[in-house]
Amino acid sequence: MNENQISVVIPTFNRPSFLKRAMESVLKQTYQNVEIIVVVDGVSKATEQLVDEIKAKSTTKITLIQTEEKVGGSEARNIGIRAATGELIALLDDDDEWFENKLTSQIDLLKQKNLTTDTAFLCFTTLLRYKEKDQETYTPLPNVNYEESGKSKIADYLFETEGLRNIGFIQTSTVLVPKWMAIETPFTVGLPKHQDWDWLLKLDKEQNLTIIQDTEPQIIYHSDVPKDTRIGYINRWRFTEQWGVDHKAVFSSQGYDSFILNYVMLSIAEDSQLTKKERIKELKVRWKTLSFNTKIRPYSWKMIIYMMNALKNG
């Protein structure tokens, strides 16, 4: 396994300062058999200049692809995956950063589990995140490790809750998969949001997937990116709700209710495009759809407090 080349696919657009940090974290990896494929969603002279500067100082194979026209993050990843020459694909968002042992740790884990590049597997890692850059302690995610969760479906792991917290968390920059599987099950093109969730659920549906987790934090999920430029922070609750409806068949009832509370209702409460009265009306409609068991759960009351604060501050 240690002879396999890993192709690191980084989608980006005109954010050279963040991209530089991401690329440097790849170049510092203790696992050396890597190539980097940077896919610009459009054209960016600043990005081209940065990549040229890094290439001039490095012996690592670095490929820059510019799509000319905007294709979106999903297709940018697909383009990078198709261009990859490695047997393994590691995904990295341009605003995230790996610790230097990230890839070595994942390769070691694959060896321990006797998994080869012929196997349909998803190997992800724990991450560290922060809300303020001067925090002394970062928060690790997921809250519950995959194996300890006892969940067999990715949707249950991602969206079910326990007590006052979400159970699982799988972020794109933590993922390592065989190339053939990423080719066979590509990212859905055209999604303005939830590209990672959508892909993970597709993998779980289409592949006989083995899921393993490196429980040591191996990346920093940075929060120094302007919220209006990070897809995950953009409030598109109507799209989120429809995405949930489209995938409802793979959710448990508890997972779907938690999804509605966490990602639809809270976003409605935070929607500054609606009046307070309109938001309350929309919230009441969704509250009626939740099961009685969901309504009496501690997690639901936690979310109600969050929604009330959002309404008050909005």
Q: Show the tokens assigned to 283.
A: 């919230």
Considering only the C-alpha atoms of the chain, give the largest distance between any 2 of them, rounded to a whole number of Å. 62
Q: What are phi and psi of 96, to 5 degrees?
A: -110, 170
CB 100 within 8 A of CB 28: yes
Residue 40 has a pLDDT of 97
- The three-class DSSP label of residue 293 is helix
Residue 116 has a pLDDT of 96
CB 121 within 8 A of CB 177: yes
Residue 37 has a pLDDT of 98
Each residue's pLDDT expressed in tens, for the chain with a length of 314 residues: 558 999 999 999 999 999 999 999 999 999 999 999 999 999 999 999 999 999 999 999 999 999 999 999 999 999 999 999 999 999 999 999 999 999 999 999 999 999 999 999 999 999 999 876 666 678 999 999 999 999 999 999 999 999 999 999 999 999 999 999 999 999 999 999 999 999 999 999 999 999 999 999 999 998 776 655 555 557 899 999 999 999 999 999 999 999 999 999 999 999 999 999 999 999 999 999 999 999 999 999 999 999 999 999 87
CB 166 within 8 A of CB 148: no
Residue 174 has a pLDDT of 98
Buried b / exposed e along 88-108 (16+ C-beta atoms within 10 A): bbbbbbbbbbbbebbbebbbe
Alpha helices in the chain (DSSP H): 16-27, 45-57, 73-83, 102-112, 146-149, 154-159, 179-184, 195-206, 237-246, 253-259, 266-269, 276-289, 292-295, 298-313
Residue 83 has a pLDDT of 98
Residue 226 has a pLDDT of 62
